[in-house]
Chain A
Amino acid sequence: MFQISQDFAPPFKLIAPFFIIGSFFYLFSSVFLFGFDGESLSVMNPTVIAFAHLFLLGFVMMIIFGAMAQLVPVVLEVGHFAVELFYAIWPLLLIGTLLMIGGFLYAPALLPYGGMIVLISMMIFVVEIFLTMKQVKKLNIVMTSVLLSNTFLFMGIIVGLVMALGYAGEIDVDIASLLTSHIYFVVGGYVSITLMGLSVVLLPMFGLSHGFSLKPLEVALYMMSTSVMIVFLDALFSFSSIVSYIGYLLSIVAMGIYFYQVYTIFKTRARKENDIYVKSLFFAYLSLIAALVLIALYFLSSYEPLLLAGGWLIVYGLFAFAITGHIYKIIPFLVWFERFSPLVGKQKVPMLADMLPPKSSEAQFIFSALGVIVVAVALILQNTQLLHAGASFLVVGALAFIRSVFYMINFK
């Protein structure tokens, strides 16, 4: 018999803190938007940097790390090296993130401490994943994506730490030139490649898709990796601006090819039901397309708000909706596994779909989607009132998301 894996479902108490803390950070990030002035936003503004870390570390990374505790064995087809290490990851990531936010907003001296604690939490994560990967005998393209993404995460946090030391005045470095490679390592190299790799396992699994090729993923993966390396090397050696533009262009094309991969999976799906998961994923991928169009327009026009709106759609449209959508699959599965699977054959047990809160999940989807769209428009028009209006929608959406998370966790 062909054995697939062991330890597919780690104890829920190990993963639950990641999801609970992550969902609260989703709310905090949305509230944070009220502090933005639509007319003077810049990527070097400390408030913007604080927001980016609040959202990316507190929400995106926190939930990805928690989800990986369950998804790594599914994807790698081997059990974790030491899944208990995840008990140490979330407290460190939480403390480190809070210190970094405090550092960006009030006391830059806190940054190296926060950065170091975040670094330790991520190092534990990366080392655990690498040691788990050592058990894999033959890498397929999805496993390769996990290897690549975690290597980029490792490099991204090293660059981030160097920047934090520079920001606090401890060492003398050119923060601006390192910023792009830090963003590319973490957002392009880790989050995007993780999304690429995991989605080609999860989308067909939930949609019952069959008979599609993984060639587009392979091309997108190597193109994105090349792009990240070009941007990093350019930051180190300051080649001509053409080189960095090639790097940016490659990442845009890579995301376009990845979208084509997703399209082929959706086209071959047998399960046509549009539940909250599918709707969230549709919105996520539509946000990606809109973002690519806006970024392309930015390169043609040099109108910076288009770039900001494109970046916004990638993080709050693509990443956030891909994450919230998957939460509606992962939490019910883990709770069901722990609470109801021992009762199978003995008494009637709920289906996974029964564990979803229909009203709050729908409210979350509608309010968050409206918020993402309104803020994107506000960024393009540089309109502060519209931006705050969008933030209001996002806050309601985030509250509904928290309600959904607790509903699923407490389902009995």
Chain B
Amino acid sequence: MYTKEELFRAISTVIDPEVGFNLVEMGLIYDAVADEEGNVKVTMTLSTKACPLHQMIVQWVKEAVEKLPDVKDVEVEVVWEPEWNITMADENVKKALGA
């Protein structure tokens, strides 16, 4: 079944329209696991609890993973611990933002 890297690669097609980076390089995707039956669970966070795109981003992540051919079901859990901060983002994001 799919590895964490393959799932992350699929999710990396989802871009935050406000900052212009994908969710993986932003460090917002904490984990992604797939079992033998094709059930996937993604654990992620958002940069703010007040994000108006909350539900939409969750939907985009779900749809991005569902595009993988052997995926049967996708569950996306949004967590707030650990709280996201810029140190979780990739170096290219930090550099581009000036952090």
Measured CB to CB, the residues of A under 8 A from B are 1-2, 4-6, 8-9, 70, 73-75, 77, 201, 204-206, 208, 210-211, 270-273, 333, 336-337, 340-341, 344-345, 349-353
Contacts and interface: CB of A to CB of B under 8 A. Distances in A.
Nearest to A355: B17
A351 B17 contact: yes
Given A1-B77, A1-B78, A2-B80, A272 B20 contact: no
Given A8-B55, A272-B99, A352-B18, A211 B85 contact: yes
A341 B53 CA distance: 10
Nearest to B59: A344
Given A8-B55, A345-B60, A75 B50 contact: yes
Interface in B69-93: 76-80, 83-86, 89
Return the 7 tightest CB-CB contacts between A and B, nearest first.
A272-B98, A270-B86, A8-B52, A270-B99, A210-B85, A205-B48, A4-B54
Contacts of A272: 97-99
Scoring B18, B89, B97, B98 by chain A CB atoms within 10 A of each residue's CB, the highest score goes to: B18
A393 B69 CA distance: 60
B76 to A, nearest CB: 8
Given A1-B77, A6-B55, A270-B89, 10 more contacts: A4-B49, A4-B54, A74-B52, A205-B47, A210-B83, A270-B99, A333-B52, A344-B60, A345-B64, A350-B17
Given A205-B48, A211-B85, A351-B20, A5 B54 contact: yes
A270 B78 contact: no
Given A210-B86, A270-B94, A272-B99, A9 B52 contact: yes
A208 B55 contact: no
Contacts of A341: 56
A296 B76 CA distance: 54
Scoring A9, A77, A270 by chain B CB atoms within 10 A of each residue's CB, the highest score goes to: A270
A351 B19 CA distance: 8
B64 to A, nearest CB: 7
6 contacts: A2-B80, A9-B52, A208-B19, A270-B86, A270-B99, A345-B13
A330 to B, nearest CB: 10
Nearest to B48: A205
Contact of B54 (A8, A70, A273): A8
Nearest to A274: B98
B65 to A, nearest CB: 12
Contacts of B50: 4, 74-75, 77, 201, 205
Interface string B1-34: 0000000000001010111100000000000000
A269 to B, nearest CB: 9
B53 A8 contact: yes
A354 to B, nearest CB: 9
Contacts of B54: 4-5, 8
B49 to A, nearest CB: 6
Nearest to B86: A270
A146 B54 CA distance: 22
A352 B89 CA distance: 20
A353 B20 contact: yes
A349 B53 CA distance: 15
Nearest to A271: B97
A2 B49 CA distance: 10
A201 B78 CA distance: 19
Contacts of B51: 4, 205
A350 B18 CA distance: 10
B63 interface: yes
A206 B18 contact: yes
Contacts of A340: 17
A73 B50 CA distance: 9
A366 B77 CA distance: 45
Contacts of A336: 17
